[in-house]
Structure 1
Amino acid sequence: MNNKNELLILNIIKYGPIVFILSLSVIISLTLYINYKSAFIEEKDLIEKEYVQRNRTDVKNQLDTIYRFILEEQKTTEIKLKKNLKQRVNEAHSIAMNIYNENKHLKKEVVQKMIKDAIRNIRFNEGRGYFFIYSFDYECILLPVAKHLEGSSFYNFKDGEGKYLTRNIIKSLENKDESFLKWSYHKPNDMKNQYEKIGFNKKFEPYDWYIGTGEYVEDFEGDIQKEVLQYIANQQFSDNNYIFILDYNSNYLAHKNKHLIGKNAVDIYDKKAYKTIEKIINIARKEGTAYLDYTHIRPLTNKEATKTTYIRGVQNWQWAMGIGFYQEDVNKLIKIQKEVLDKRFEEDLYKLLFLSLSLTTLLLVLSVRISKFLETRFSQYRNQIKEHLEEITNQQNILAQQSKMAAIGTMIGNIAHQWRQPLSLISTAATGMKLKREIGDLSDKEFSDNLEYINQSTQYLSKTIDDFRNFFSTNKVKKEFTIDEAFENTFNLIKVQFKNHQIEVIKDISDTQIYGIQTELVQVLINILNNSRDELIKISNEQRKLIFIKTFEKDEQLIIEILDNAGGIKKETLEHVFEPYFTTKGPAQGTGIGLYMSQEIIVKHMHGQILMENSTYNYEDKDYTGVKTIIKLNINK
């Protein structure tokens, strides 16, 4: 590390934390301010939406509560009617029984007249209800609404559906003292249509009579509706938040303004306002429930205002109910809430600035102390790094030297194998010429041919020396070369041993061009091929010894695959093959640095990848297992 770099690092250590703290403080403060401001704006927008939604939900809940109350009232209409009828008949029965008990010593006709006179003029249910008395011989004893029929027989009297009413009543009382019965009959003011009616009858045993009464369900339901409307009128609503009810004929049934009740909207509003009423009724009739925004004259201010109303229809009563709120009221509440938020934001901003300044000051003090501490530690680490670098450099040099010596040992063996045959031929030719010359049998042509043969063998030995010298050359200049050239140089160095051990090499090598140091790649290829050779030597000579070499391009990379049939490597061994000094050959045969240096060359020098895996494959209809080595190198395009 030079002095300039050390000075730069020291300045970074001294001033870096301070600059970092100040920058970080500014960034954090700005970020917090921006995020808080954004959240504040979102909160203001959310308040507006929430207030509107809250009001919509509130009016909906209020109206739905009333709607549920109406449904409960509708469900209990018949129950209440029956209870009402039974109570009234019991009252009439008690009156008749009291008169009978107090006057039974008198003549029968006198007592019966007293009972009829006592009951005849009793009315209930807003004047609609009255009592009737019949005998079990079908004779009409009392009928206040048609006195002229008293004394006549009702045996053949039919209801609106053609059923014998009196017979059915008597039949219902055969095995019990009282009973309810439903029938249909016209109303006095509507002789055409039939309406459902419920009656209650009770035996009066002293004279073999039954006393009864009946009520039209529709009329009693009208009483229930009035009770519901009164209940709604008694509810506490604000001047701006009240329930109104219209029937489907536009008549007001309930309203905050009592003067509108009973009036038709057609007679009250202009065309524009009445269209709103029509929309409300249409929503109630067709959709059932919906919100409606509309503009109308607000009663309190007598000015135009926008109102949001929740509408709900009561179909079987043909009611359109609504409750709403004015937008300007909501806007006032939103404005008040936003002002509160603005004030809170201002207060929080001051707190944020104070906190940021306090924290920055504290961090600056700490950063100065840390800088001094780091400066001291840096000097110590610098010295330690120098020592470690020297140690690592020595180790790398030792590894490289060991790898080189291992390669030299292998190459010397290869030289011995490759020179043995040419030297033997040279020796044979020279000895033959000497012998023939001594006996005088050496012709000029034979002499010339032998010299030519000796010269060719010498040239071969010279080329072999050049190949080995190039391999061990210290010239590490990167240049472009083709992969087939690299493999050719590789086989020139190792082919003799492969041939001697009957190892077949099946090649499918392209002429792809790459960039790097060729001798380093050759060293890698030799290490891989020699490892395959060492394993193939172990198998029986009866089995074929195969090495497959294939190269191809894929995704702008050169892929080199080298595959043997030596049986593969154990899984636990395969994980460690690229570690330094790891070998399965024993100290006499391997150093354990060949594949480690191969990985160093491929990954660090050539910026590629190398991996090994077991592979099972079929070749010429026979299955084999071996190790596949895959090398991936970038292509120089």
Structure 2
Amino acid sequence: MDANTILNSAFPKFNGMSFWNHQDAKGTFIFQDMKKLLKNNNEVYYDWYWKDPLKKEGNERLKIGYFKKFEPYGIYIGTGFYYKDYEYSLKEEVANYISKLRYKDNRYIFVIDEYRNLIVNKYKSILYKNIQENTDGDFWENSIDDLIKKKNKTDGFYVEYGLKVDEYVDPIKKISYLLYFENWDWVLGTGFELSSIKSTIEDKQNYLEEKYKNYLNSIFLLGFTFVFFILIFSSFISKYIEKSFLNYTRNLEEKQNLLLKAHEIGGFGNWEMDTNSMTAIWSDSIIKIFGIEKVPKKVGPEFLKTIMHKDDWKCFESSIYTAIKEHKEHRCTYRIIKPDGSIVWVECKGLYDSSTKKILGTIQNITERMQFEIDKQEKEKLIQYQSKMAAMGEMIGNIAHQWRQPLSVISTASTGIKLKKEMGELSDEDLLNTMDNINNSTQYLSQTIDDFRNFFNPAQQNFTMVSIEDIIESTFNLVHTQYVSKGISIIKNIEDISFKTSKNGLIQVLINILNNSRDVLAEQNKQKKYIFINSFKKSKDLVIEIYDNGNGIDEKIINRIFEPYFTTKYKSQGTGIGLYMSQEIIEKQLNGKIVVENYSYNYEGEDYMGAKFTIKISLS
């Protein structure tokens, strides 16, 4: 691009001239700058300053143009127009458009240009005339200046004035809203004539008066109708309420009768006691429960004392007087001795009412429940006794097994030295060796006695700090000979953990579980018989696992093995209370949990299955 002009219709004299070094009024090299823009684009919009061909003299004016590259000839074609000419044309179009706008009641928008002439207005007589010359007073100029001076020029304001549309007619009183358009220095406004507002207000007033009159008539008619229906409805409702109340009364009586029957069936009775006079009122149900035929007119704690078991009076007296003094709940369980000498257990409850200074309460006959608890406790005592006897029998058998070998050693040693003495072959060395063997066997017997004495020592039932390794070692000291004699291998994997527990209680549980595995394996003809015992810490629990390779427990009965007296052995071999007592000890005494499952595992490359007992005891 060398900036040679081929065709310029506005300035023909420029044709053939180069403008490469031409600068506009702002000092811009127009064509050099344009070349840079068109280097990467085939077309571009561009603004610059250029002389007006219609004006022989004067400064250059801002132009806006469009240029496009014409590839076949390597030339650029462009066109443009002067910014002010376009702005003037645009203003004319906008003014023409606004002059056609109308809204409610034929109202219009007027426009005041930068010279404060009305360029848009409904009244042609004042169109293109100065606004100040056609209004009463000089406030227009001041108002417009105030509007322009405002910091936020988007805000407008209202003005009241008189518009002169005819010199022979009084000015039209108006209120207008003005808004300043800064870009063109225009003021736009719209408003209304005060005379039209007065007419509108009168029409609205007439409309409201007529509406209010019709409203009063409607209210009167509606009120009369409403009262009429209310009277009819009230009559219906009163009859309905009366009927409902009668039904409610009957239902209440029926429910009260049902409640009394339920109280009688459940062994309940009601009572209330005046704390000032210490006299009470008993319901018929209480008298029936107590089996009393003659009751004094005034009953109270003193009368109750005559029929209450003497061992229960202190508890009752303390509870009733605490309820009166501290306004707490009265709750006490006591025995009543009926006239025929039989015992009735009752549970008595009551609450103090501070407003009446009375205690309102109930009693319930709980004789059957208490008898059930007594029978249950007796049964548990019997089971514990049987378990103890079974454990003692098991221990006696273990003593017999563990004493057999050392007694045989003592017998053989003493017979041997006697024979050697008779034959004159007893040396001092043989005598000393034999005495050592006899002494070792005697010490072993003594230690065995100590182990069994400790097992039955009540002091060992208390909670003390022990290690799980010591408990398992003590357990096998008591029973190991029976496992050796039956070819059973014990595999232990013990993580030594110290914790507080009842040592003998846990030993008894372990012996019961181990003996069950022993009995199962003893009945089976297997070359390899295993019992595994593992212990480890998991979270905040001590976990003990005991399992064997005895093929497991029948799934039909596995959920019943902790039941008392349930056994799969012959009566001569099992009592059915060992595992029941184990569960009682773990869950009620040691605050733990015991479960059983059939467990499949692999040991030394061979697959096995057996019963697995898992014990969890909290360490916290």
TM-score range (shorter-chain normalised) is 0.3 to 0.5
The structure showing larger relative contact order (alpha-carbon pairs under 8 Å, at least 6 residues apart) is 1
TM (normalized to structure 2)? 0.45
Hey, which of these two has a bigger chunk of strand by percent?
A: 2
TM-score (structure 1 length as normaliser): 0.44
